[in-house]
Each structure stands twice: as structure tokens, then as C-alpha cells.
Amino acid sequence: MTVELRSVRRATVPRETAKGRVSLGMIALYAQVGAYVVFLAAPIVMVVLLSFTAGEFAIFPPEGLSLRWYGPALAMPGFIDSLVLSLQLAAQAATLSLLLGVSAALGLARTRFRGRQALLAGIMSPLVVPTIVSSLALLQFFVGANLREASWNLLVGHVIITLPYVVRTVLASFEVFDWSLVDTARVLGAGPVRAFWRVTLPVIRPGVLAGGIFSFLVSFDSFTISVFLVDSQSVTLPVRVFNYILTQLDPRIAALSALLIYGSIAVLVVSDRLIGTSRLRGF
Amino acid sequence: MARLARTKRIGPTGHGWLLLPVVLVLLAFFALPLATVVVYSVGRSTFGQVYIPDVTLHNYVLVLTSPTHLAVLTRTLKLGLIVTAVALIVGYPCAYLMARGRPWLRSALLVAVLLPLFVSVVVRAYGWEIVLGLEGPVNKLLVGLRLTDQPVKFLYSELGIVIGLVHVYSAFMVLPLSSVLQKIDPQLEDAARSLGAGPLTVFWRIILPLSVPGIAAGSMLVFTLTAAAYVTPSLLGGAGINVMTTLVVQQIKLLVDYPLGSAIAIVLVVITLLVVGAYNGFLASRAGVYRRAQP
């Protein structure tokens, strides 16, 4: 899935219009894809639209335009706490996943042994096992082991679900990695750590970066695993917003959701600049 | 493959210890908890006692035979198939344009398809509640155009679940599909056209058969993701409509029946593994074709 768009030969849709004849099939194709794009954008655009309402209710059509709900949205109880917690958690989970994942990918890429494929499948299995199942399993495990510190439990849960992304993206970078570079560095006197920092890491950097960004995003956005591991002290942002949506109806929710959408779009743009949208296809 | 052989010869082994931290973490916090679920699933529970150690298949029999649980299982599979089919049908033209369109169109479509994935599941569900609600713009439009007399109840139904899941998971159909479509030589289409085939014939006889690997990969992903989805079904499906994930949570959190909830969870995992296994079997069966398609 991580095929670079640019490397593929430029093939374009045959343009009947160039000959002055518009194909009915082409019109249908573009119309269908247009409708699909509208469908994809609809709920997101609608939330943003209603967040600007001047009225008292988040209903369509919005009554007038204003920014009056954004201030109260930020002031909702617990919002800032949850935002800080989620950002911290995402940063911690991404860091830990990178440490564990890069070392695992290095081990997998450099070592051949019996059962390597099985081990790789095992490391990837948190992606295959439905998150709801691993979340409940983890919850039962923590309760059974009497581990009740929610912030630690959340971190463990998030690392488990973000780890496969790091291993996958970093392992993909190793596939085109020329190991003789490291061997050369070693022959020329670099120690293993220095060889890793100066040779291996710069080459696999895009994979590491992509893995780190995925982990951060997946953790920040993760709802299913968090909803079972939070306690009243540590509520992550998605869980907080979920509780708001269930209990509040005013446009503050629309403004809050819109803020999250701006964040998502910013992340999408930044990751495009940083690692290329095409690489995000592996997401 | 040649590279692997070379690495083996040149590269020193002994990097295996790098795998140790991951293996330990996954054993402790993934394998062990899952094993606990398996142990729970063969246990018993009575009123007032969450779990009684036992080795019985009673819970599995219940999941697979009792009408209420069987209905949930069937609904999960049915929704999986519907969402997969709808994602394929609505996503295919988009994947085609992504593979063959001008560069700006490709990027624009890629962003459009990825956008729902980047927006929080909670916010997406909230957006659908606004768009499809009884007072929402879609219903206002339908009533305004006199297409219906009464507002359509999109939400809190299986339809709501399908819409919500197609919205986010069709990306997993479009992306592998467009990768595969990109690898199909456009000259094949030109050749067929110049030999007199119409656009539909070209599609049915050339593009569709060659895109089967993409369809298979996308279907596997969409089906397993749909079966595993929890938030969207619980928010857009409403109270009466259980799927396996919501039933697991109900059993464990509300009814505190750990053994039965665990058994449902294990059945869900087995279904997922069967689908992934079937996909791997498919890949193996056409390994030759698949490898040649790689650049």
C-alpha cells in the first residue's frame, strides 16, 4: 500500500473532450466520484459550518455567523486538562513505541532465524485482534493485577496499539537499506552505537518519522482503548468529547469538534509536508 | 529475495537481543491478557459471582446457538458484507481516478479519502448526527423536494451504522485498489479500445479482473475493521441494535458476565483471523501473479 505516487508512470484518463466529444461514461464517472467526495466531507463540513452559528442551537441552517461559541468551548470543564493529558500521552506513547519499535525492526531486519515470520506476525497482531477485545483483556488484566494507576495503564494500552505502526514503517525502510554501509562504518572504526546514529538512523529516518507521527495520531485519537482505561482523574480528550456529546446539545460541542477538525487538518498538512501524503497510504 | 540471501551471508547475526524488549512487553500486556480472556471464556458465572473457574464450552454453545446471540453474530457478518460491498462500489470509481487522473486530482482525492481517518471517531459520529438527523439538512432536502412525506430515520438503525462505517473505512478499499489499478498498463486499455471494445467491455474484461488483488486486500481490511468497529455502531446504531463488539461490552460492563462476554470476544477474534487467513491463502494461491505485479 505504500507505493510512491510519483514513481509510477503518469497514465491519465483518456480525454475524449480533447476531440470535442464528451463521453457520457466520463461524466458519470466524475459525477459519482464527486458525490463520493461530498459524502466524505459532509459530516466534517457540517460541524465546521454549525460551529460558526450565532444562534443558541447547533441546528441546520446556522442562524447568522459568529465566533461566539469558540471561547465557551475552550472553557468547558476539563477540556484543557484532557487536551494536555492526550498530548502528553500521545508523546509518551510515540516515544516508547519508537524505542521499542525501532529496536525490534532493527533486530528483525538484521537477524535471520527460524520463526522470524511468526514473530513478525505476533508483533503485528495488535492490529489484527479487534481493539475492543485487547482493551477489555487489558482492563481485566489490570484489575486482576490490582494496577489502578490510570495514566500508566493508558500508556501501556496506547503503546500496544501504536507499536505495530512503528515496526511496519521502519521495517519498510530497512527493505531498501544497504547493510554494507553499516559494515563499512564498522570497518572504518565506528562503534555499533555510532554506526547506528550516523549511518543507519539517517537512512531510515523517513520510516522512523512516519512511524512516530502515526503513533502520535493513533494514540491521540484512540477512543476504544482509552474508554476502558480512564478514571475520573485522567480522561483523555476523545473520551471527554464523547461525554460532552452525550450530555450537551449547545453549539459549544460544534465549536469544540470544529477545533479538533482544524487540528486534524493541520496534522494532515504537516505530515504531507514532512513525509509525503503518499506515505500516509500505509496508515 | 536475492537481497535476503546476501544479507544473511554478509550481515553479522546476533542482533536478536534487540527483539527482547518488544517480545517481553507484548507477552506481558497483550498475550497474557488475551490468554486470560480465553481462560474466562471456558469458565462459568452465576448471579453474584463474576467468574467461576471451569473448563466448559457452554458459553461458546450459547453464543453460536441461542437465537439472541446468533442474531447478533449474523448481524455482524451481514453488516461486514454490506459495508464491504458498498465500499467497493462507491470506492471503485474513486480508486480508478486516483490511479489514472492528473496529479492534482490524485492528491485531492487522496486527501478527501484520508480526511475522515484523521478526524476523531467521536467528531465524525457527531457530524453524522447533525447531517442525517430528523431535522438535518438531508431530511430537509428530501422533504423539500417532496421525495418523502416523513423525515427518513437514517440514524439509530443498521443504515446509520453502514453510512458511518463506509464513510471512514472505504479509504481502506480505495487505497489498495488504486495501488493495484496504477500497476495495470494503460496500453492494455488502449489496445482493447482500438480493437473495438466499448468502455464497459474494457472494464469487465480487463480492468476488473486485473484489479482482483486490490479488491481482495480492500475487502479483507474493510470486513475485519467493520467487524471490530465499536464506537460507530454504538453511537449511530442505537440501543436496540447490537453487534458483537457492543454485545461484548454489554456482557462485561453491564451484565458482568465475564465468561460469556469473553466467549463472544474470542468468537470475534476467530472470525477476524479466518478472514485474514482466507486472504493470505488467496495471496499464496496467486503468489506468482502477485510477485510479477510488483515493480
Task: Answer with the residue of higher pLDDT: B10 or A123.
Answer: A123
From the list B215, B174, B127, the residue with the least C-alpha distance to A281 is B174
Q: What is the structure's pLDDT at A131?
A: 92
- Residues of chain A neighbouring B122 (CB-CB closer than 8 A): 223, 238, 241-242, 245, 257
Q: Say if the Cβ atoms of B107 and A277 lie within 8 Å.
A: yes
Residue B46 has φ and ψ, to the nearest 5°, of -125, 175
Residue B114: inside a domain? yes
Q: Which three cell numbers stand for residue B213?
A: 488483488
CB atoms within 10 A of CB B23: 17
Domain spans in chain A, listed from the N-terminal domain onward:
19-71, 76-249
Residue B50: inside a domain? no
Confidence grade of residue B264 (pLDDT, cut at 50, 70, 90): very high
The CATH code for residues A76-249 is: 1.10.3720.10
Measured distance CA(B232)–CA(B99) in Å, rounded: 30
Interchain contact B89–A (C-beta under 8 A): no
Average pLDDT over residues B61-69: 92
Q: What is the structure's pLDDT at A273?
A: 78
Q: Which residues pair with B44 in a beta bridge?
A: B52
Q: Say if the Cβ atoms of A179 and B7 lie within 8 Å.
A: yes
Close Cβ partners of B98 (under 8 Å, ≥ 6 residues apart): B105, B106, B109, B110, B113, B174, B178, B181
Residue B2: inside a domain? no
Residue B168: inside a domain? yes
Measured distance CA(B228)–CA(B247) in Å, rounded: 12
Q: Are B211 and B177 in contact (CB under 8 A)?
A: yes
Q: Are A33 and B94 in contact (CB under 8 A)?
A: yes
Q: Are B75 and A17 in contact (CB under 8 A)?
A: no
Q: What is the structure's pLDDT at A117?
A: 86
Interface of B with A in 94-133 (CB under 8 A): 94, 96-97, 99-103, 106-107, 109-128, 130-131
Residue B218: inside a domain? yes
Q: What is the structure's pLDDT at B258?
A: 86
Q: Are B95 and B177 in contact (CB under 8 A)?
A: yes
Residue B260: inside a domain? no
State the 10-residue block means of pLDDT for chain A, 283 residues long: 42 48 82 96 92 82 85 88 94 96 90 85 91 92 89 94 92 85 88 87 87 89 88 89 82 90 85 67 48
Q: What is the structure's pLDDT at B13?
A: 53
Task: Answer with the residue of higher pLDDT: A144 or B268.
Answer: B268
Close Cβ partners of B134 (under 8 Å, ≥ 6 residues apart): B151, B153
Q: Are A130 and A211 in contact (CB under 8 A)?
A: no
Q: Is the ipTM of this complex over 0.90?
A: no
From the list A166, A184, A185, A162, the residue with the least C-alpha distance to A174 is A166
Burial of residue B9, with CB atoms counted within 10 A of its CB: 0-12 exposed, 13-18 middle, 19 or more buried: exposed
Residue B252: inside a domain? no
Q: Say if the Cβ atoms of A130 and B228 lie within 8 Å.
A: yes
What CATH number is attached to the domain comprising B93?
Answer: 1.10.3720.10
Close Cβ partners of A212 (under 8 Å, ≥ 6 residues apart): A94, A97, A98, A166
Tally of residues, chain B: 295
Interface of B with A in 8-37 (CB under 8 A): 8, 10-19, 21-23, 25-26, 29-34, 36-37
Q: Are B250 and B267 in contact (CB under 8 A)?
A: no
Q: Are B19 and A108 in contact (CB under 8 A)?
A: yes
Residue B248: inside a domain? no
Q: What is the structure's pLDDT at B6?
A: 44
CA–CA min distance A24, chain B (Å): 11
Report the chain B residue with the minimal C-alpha distance to residue A112: B8
Q: Which residues pair with B52 in a beta bridge?
A: B44
| Range(s) of the domain holding residue B203 | 72-242
Q: Are B92 and B171 in contact (CB under 8 A)?
A: no
Instruction: Write the pLDDT tens digit of every residue in B74-131.
Output: 999 999 999 999 999 999 999 999 998 888 998 889 889 988 988 888 899 999 988 9
> How many domains does the structure of chain B reveal?
1
Q: Are B155 and B128 in contact (CB under 8 A)?
A: yes
Q: How many CB pairs under 8 A join A and B?
A: 274
Q: Are A132 and A224 in contact (CB under 8 A)?
A: yes
Nearest-CB residue to B26 (from A25, A122, A179): A122
Q: What is the structure's pLDDT at B14?
A: 65
| Residue B7 pLDDT exceeds 50 | no
Burial of residue A15, with CB atoms counted within 10 A of its CB: 0-12 exposed, 13-18 middle, 19 or more buried: exposed
Measured distance CA(A19)–CA(A21) in Å, rounded: 6
